Structure 1
Amino acid sequence: MVRRKFLSKRNRTTTGLIAGVLIISTLFPSFAQNGFSQLVSAASHFLPLQSQQVRTVSSASGSQARQQGYTSWDEQESPNYVRLVGPSRIDQVVESGQVLYAGLDSLGRTLEVHACITYQMMEGGMAREREQMSNPSGWPRKNPEVQIELYNGSFYRGRLWNRSHLLAKSLGGKETVENLVTGTRMQNVGANDGQGGMALVETAVRNWLKAHPSGTVQFVATPIYEGDERICRSVIVDVKTSDGFIDEEVEVYNAAKGYELNYYTGEAIAQQ
């Protein structure tokens, strides 16, 4: 069994390669089951696990088995705001079709979400209308407008902060505060091309479920906070498919190129 890897892309050439592979796999599901993993595995030889220094933090998660740290975002290492950590660490196996929201901590911060995602959950989530969303912890009084260069050469122009799902609506997640964090646009969707941020993981899971409608996906998303900050620095995502084809832990950075972020208030200062 060849495991698929969520790659921390180091340059736009590699990003373009993976993007092309994803487009082909979406159009041709049989390729997604066979050739996809081989091409991604070949690319991964140029993308070793990153040796960034891990900061120890007091995670809002109560689970001692989860990763208790994060790394600072490095554009050269992770231009798409995603870092491959290693194999998944699923400490709580959830029953098929079930979602467990851990709730909020004493500071009102969202804790981890566990789920066992099915094809039916994906279908239902994609079909239903989006519900009104409450403000997660750290949501700013004024959401700044920004212009940010993205890893695919385009620019994002708009509001910096999103109400970002831990478990995507398209995977069966709800628009409840127990499932939302204050996330940068890049943390949420990257360049909105399915190749960055939480959207990278979500796209891979949807593609796998479309190719394996009878399969399931164990999923854990854990926001990591530093001290008593109200906005998470990263989200650690663990994903394991029932056939083991995807078995990865990734770190999704809550950052924005060219801006210094205040993780208490949501203020953003443009860097010169």
Structure 2
Amino acid sequence: GRTQTVSAIITYGMMHSHASSVRKRPAFPKTTKVSGEYADGVYNKNLQQWFGRSNNIRMAQLNGYRGYLYNKSHLLAWSLGGDMQTHNVILGTRAQNVGTNDQRNPGGMAYTETLTRNYLSSHQDDAVAYQVIPIYVGQELVPRGTHVLVQSIDNPIKFHLNVWVFNTQAGITINYNNGSFQ
């Protein structure tokens, strides 16, 4: 029931078809549930869905920000052609998903996504191989981070990324076994 690796070949056309100027990003379907979303989560193999009563997606006071600690974090971003389904989403901290509030160093998954969009926008005839691997320890339900690998197809030397994105949040202690936090 844990989301695994996502791999894709991304073209400018794929990316452009998901641009906010072309199509509004849809909401997550109610069936998009991820491991760690519930502290008391149980995975139903027949329905391929997580259930529970104690939801971990709730407000928290973060460093300089009050909001949700966790996001349903895409492995392949919607803006790069990804979908809104469970197989493409992990439970990611705000910092893991979108980076910090500091515009000088945004980080998170947004870092590689932005670089990839910028590359494809200026090299529309090229494509990139994009792979994201969530890393779990043992049977933990929440990944410790994601390993992002990106490489241009036509000119691998010109554009390539190998980035580790930590699934942590300053000032918060995460129980990676069930997603609970303090």
TM-score normalised over the length of structure 1: 0.55
Displaced runs of 4+ in structure 1, greater than 4 A?
none
Asked whether the equivalents of residues 235 and 253 of structure 1 are also in contact (C-alpha less than 8 Å), the reply is: yes
Alpha-carbon distance in structure 1 between the residues aligned to 2:87 and 2:72: 11
Which of 137, 142, 161 lines up with 1:248 in the alignment? 161
- Structure 2 counterpart of 1:265: 178
- Structure 1 counterpart of 2:74: 165
Shift of 1:248: 2.2
- Structure 1 counterpart of 2:41: none
- Structure 2 counterpart of 1:113: 6
- Structure 2 counterpart of 1:232: 143
Superposition pairs of residues 180-195 of structure 1, within 5 angstroms: 180-191=89-100, 193=103, 195=106
Which of 27, 37, 41 lines up with 1:132 in the alignment? 27
Gaps of 5+ in 2: 39-54
Alpha-carbon distance in structure 1 between the residues aligned to 2:65 and 2:126: 36
- Structure 1 counterpart of 2:118: 207
Asked whether the equivalents of residues 62 and 69 of structure 2 are also in contact (C-alpha less than 8 Å), the reply is: no
- Larger Rg computed on CA atoms: 1
Equivalent position SS for 1:268:
coil
Give the helix-richer structure, 1 or 2.
Answer: 1
Equivalent position SS for 2:173:
strand
CA shift digits 1:216-269 (9 cap, x unpaired):
011100011011111111100001013222222111110000111011222111
After superposition, the CA RMSD in angstroms is: 1.5
Give the strand-richer structure, 1 or 2.
Answer: 2
- Structure 2 counterpart of 1:218: 129
Gaps of 5+ in 1: 1-107, 150-154
* Letter of the structure 1 residue corresponding to residue 10 of structure 2: I
Q: Percent identity?
A: 41
